[in-house]
Amino acid sequence: MGRITLAGVTKRFGETEVIPPLDLEIADGEFVVFVGPSGCGKSTLLRLIAGLEDVSSGQVSIDGRDMTEAPPAQRGLAMVFQSYALYPHMSVRANIAFPLRMAGMDKAEQARRVEAAAEVLNLTAYLDRRPGQLSGGQRQRVAIGRAIVREPAAFLFDEPLSNLDAALRVGMRLEISELHKRLATTMVYVTHDQVEAMTMADKIVVLQAGRIEQVGSPLDLYHRPQNRFVAGFIGSPRMNFIEGPEAARHGAHVIGIRPEHVVVSQTEGPWKGRVTVTEHLGSDTYYHVHDTGLAEALTVRAPGDGMAAPGDEVWLQPDMDRIHRFDANGARI
Amino acid sequence: MSTRSSRKAARLMLSPSVIVLLVWMIVPLAVTVWYSLLRYNLLRPERTGFIWFRNYTNFVASPAFLSSIVNTLILVVGVLVITVVLGILIALLIDRPIWGQGIVRILVISPFFIMPPVAALIWKNMFMNPTNGLFAEAAKFLGLPPFDFLGHAPLASITLMVAWQWLPFATLILLTALQSMSSEQIEAAEMDGANALNRFWFIVLPHLSRAITVVILIQTIFLLGVFAEILVTTNGGPGTASTTLTFLIYKEALLGFNAGTAAAGGVIAVILANIVAIFLMIAVGRNLDA
């Protein structure tokens, strides 16, 4: 079981309020991702749940029990840190067994659980090595192993993939998702990378300046962003925002259109501009279009065999059904 | 430093200092070894001659020799234990963010700035003096008879003084090691259910092992040569109760005027120091690898 409830939780460091009153419900077995720009308080929020920071006010409960004052060890949560935080002087086996040893479990049961975890994580061959002799991905797996042997109520991940290179990151992303499928344990995952959030989450919590901007499934956030911040944060390349008369024509202060919802034409369309930069990704081509009179630059996503070259005049045909409208405060209309 | 001519030039320019250092080291050692094989007493300059290892057998056979070695070991080990244990505790304390941290840290390292003879005299006259020392006053206040520290426990008293001198060094080295401790590791241990004692024993202490090794190695080198504290407090006494190997050599040379025997003692001290160093390197030096 791993139901986590935050009720009116706040956090202040001295005078600065990092997290204004915040309510959040995390259901048992859910994969929840906290995402937001750096400094948005997502890591702080995770540490509040873990008990590594004290809440300034409000209540943290796990499975219905009030854990606000409980020390980290009693909350039944396991955490994977950004730096992995492995114990460098212990072997991989001792690292993974450490929480069991602290819990006073008997040796045979410890060994059995460590072997099982190593099996799951493909670490069996490395059990007698020191963390210093492992690669980044292997260290990451040891950290996960140390978390899963305890069979915690929930896993907390604090930007676990940010120290890995791009190829490894994609692989580990998949492994963590598979692990979640297999264990069906609640996972709370913090990242600044919206791709990680979109690919892994059952539920995404978008944070900005300690406030929850929107909570929803990945596609929910993609299709129905509640405000301009979420619209701009979710999706890559970023959504284009257009202000002024064109927005007013749609009865909004700002309208947003995603790059993939605009078709490039070399003959006709409602908007006209000039291509300045093209980015070829093979499968897709991104055009940066200037001089449209709508916004400084519009990004457009076209098929990989797109014909337009820098300097070309192009016409843009937005999918009018997929235009997002926002009022002057940035809220969705 | 890559071309042949620049390497040659470098060697040429380095050689004067290397030669000076070598001469500085080799000549005194060679002279000491040479004296140690001679009959050489300053009070009887007319009796000279080569006597092989008679000086060595005389020095080793003297009744003070064995006790001086035991005293040296007690002093070194005692100071090491006190400084390492207290050093870790103080470092843990002053690593915490407290008000006036800068001042506290300066106070903690200040004993290191006081010259050994001065420190020893202050301990002897202000604290340990059985008639007007502060400890005696404290004992009298509690209704106890004052204790004559340097008379009845000379070696322990000197160990205490030397430990007080070296505590800042140990604390400083251990504090810097403590500050390089990753806070995420501590937090991970906290999440893993380790209480404060377990966190110290399984996470912090292993992290400090390298710094402890450095403290032990460096302090041992200096502690084998402790001299001033003994000279100004007990003068090796009462009897030979606080005579260390270094002090015994001094007594032979400058109180007995026997340069030959003193030189032999010096050579023995060098050999013993090397044996201790080898044992230390085997015992704790592996912490410095990797």
Cβ pair A87:B191 closer than 8 A: no
Chain A environment of B198 (Cβ under 8 Å):
102
User: Minimal Cα–Cα distance from B275 to chain A, Å?
Assistant: 29
Tokens 């700002």 found at: A254
Closest chain B residue to the Cα of A97, Cα to Cα: B192
Alpha carbon A4 to its chain centroid, in Å, reads 18
Structure tokens that stand for B107 in this block: 């106070």
The verdict on A57 touching B (C-beta cutoff 8 Å) is no
Chain B environment of A86 (Cβ under 8 Å):
185, 188
Q: What is the mean pLDDT of residues B199-214?
A: 90
Cβ pair A79:B187 closer than 8 A: yes
Closest partner CB to A85 (pick from B185, B202, B207): B185
Query: For position A26, what pLDDT does the model report?
Result: 92
Query: For position B235, what pLDDT does the model report?
Result: 80
Chain A interface, best mutation among B184, B192, B289, by max A CB count within 10 A = B192
Closest partner CB to B188 (pick from A71, A85, A89): A85
Predicted confidence band of residue B174 (pLDDT cuts 50, 70, 90)? very high
Cβ pair B207:A89 closer than 8 A: yes
- The better pLDDT of the pair B290, A184 is held by A184
Structure tokens that stand for A285 in this block: 């081509």
Q: How far apart are CA B258 and CA A76, in angstroms?
A: 75
Backbone φ and ψ for B94, nearest 5 degrees, come out as: -85, 0
Under a CB-based contact definition with an 8 Å cutoff, are residues A49 and A125 in contact? no
- The better pLDDT of the pair B39, A61 is held by A61
Query: For position B289, what pLDDT does the model report?
Result: 63
Closest partner CB to A99 (pick from B182, B187, B192): B192
Under a CB-based contact definition with an 8 Å cutoff, are residues B201 and B92 in contact? no
Closest chain A residue to the Cα of B199, Cα to Cα: A102
Q: Helix, strand or coil for residue A262?
A: strand
Cβ pair A89:B206 closer than 8 A: yes
Question: Distances from the Cα of B253 to the Cαs of B59, B227, B246, B270, in angstroms?
Answer: 12, 14, 11, 16
Under a CB-based contact definition with an 8 Å cutoff, are residues B83 and B214 in contact? no
Please tell me what DSSP assigns to residue B29: H
Predicted confidence band of residue B134 (pLDDT cuts 50, 70, 90)? confident
- Fold observed for domain A4-231: Rossmann fold (3.40.50)
Query: For position A33, what pLDDT does the model report?
Result: 93
Q: How far apart are CA A110 and CA A113, in angstroms?
A: 5
Cβ pair A78:B207 closer than 8 A: no
- CATH code of the region A237-326: 2.40.50.140
Q: Helix, strand or coil for residue A20?
A: strand
Query: For position B1, what pLDDT does the model report?
Result: 54
* pLDDT > 90: percent of chain B: 23
Backbone φ and ψ for A279, nearest 5 degrees, come out as: -115, 115
Q: How far apart are CA B234 and CA A54, in angstroms?
A: 57
Domain parsing of chain A, residue ranges: 4-231, 237-326
What ipTM did this prediction achieve?
0.82
Beta strands in chain A (DSSP E): 4-13, 16-26, 31-35, 57-62, 65-66, 77-80, 154-158, 186-191, 203-208, 211-216, 240-243, 254-257, 262-265, 271-280, 284-290, 297-303, 313-318, 324-326
Q: How far apart are CA A289 and CA A270, in angstroms?
A: 14
Q: Helix, strand or coil for residue A133?
A: helix
Q: How far apart are CA B219 and CA B38, in angstroms?
A: 34
pLDDT per position in chain A (333 positions), as tens? 788 998 888 988 888 888 888 899 999 999 999 998 888 888 899 999 998 988 899 899 998 888 888 888 888 899 999 888 899 989 999 999 999 998 888 899 999 999 998 988 888 889 999 998 888 888 988 999 999 998 899 999 998 888 888 888 888 899 899 989 988 899 999 999 888 899 999 999 999 988 899 999 999 999 999 999 999 999 888 899 988 888 888 888 899 999 999 988 888 888 888 999 999 888 889 999 988 878 888 899 988 877 788 888 888 898 888 899 998 888 888
Phi/psi-derived region of residue A271, left when phi > 0, alpha when psi is between -120 and 50, beta in every other case: beta
B-facing residues of A in 17-36 (CB < 8 A) are: none
Query: For position B245, what pLDDT does the model report?
Result: 85
Which domains are assigned to chain B? 56-288 (1.10.3720.10)
Q: Interior CA angle at B41 toward B66 and B68, to 5°?
A: 15
**Entry pTM:** 0.79
Q: Helix, strand or coil for residue A78?
A: strand
Q: What is the mean pLDDT of residues B89-101?
A: 87
Chain A environment of B192 (Cβ under 8 Å):
73, 98-99, 102, 146, 150
Instruction: Quick: pLDDT tens for B239-271.
Output: 788 888 888 888 877 777 888 888 888 888 888
| Contacts A–B by Cβ distance under 8 A | 59
Cβ pair A83:B209 closer than 8 A: no
Q: Helix, strand or coil for residue B273?
A: helix
Predicted confidence band of residue B205 (pLDDT cuts 50, 70, 90)? very high
Chain A environment of B190 (Cβ under 8 Å):
52, 71-73
Cβ pair B187:A72 closer than 8 A: yes
Chain A environment of B202 (Cβ under 8 Å):
87, 98
Tally the C-alpha atoms within 13 A of residue A42's C-alpha that lie toward its C-beta. Answer: 27
Adjacent-strand bridge partners of A10: A57
Cβ pair A78:B187 closer than 8 A: no
DSSP H or E segment with residue A66: strand A65-66
Query: For position A296, what pLDDT does the model report?
Result: 81
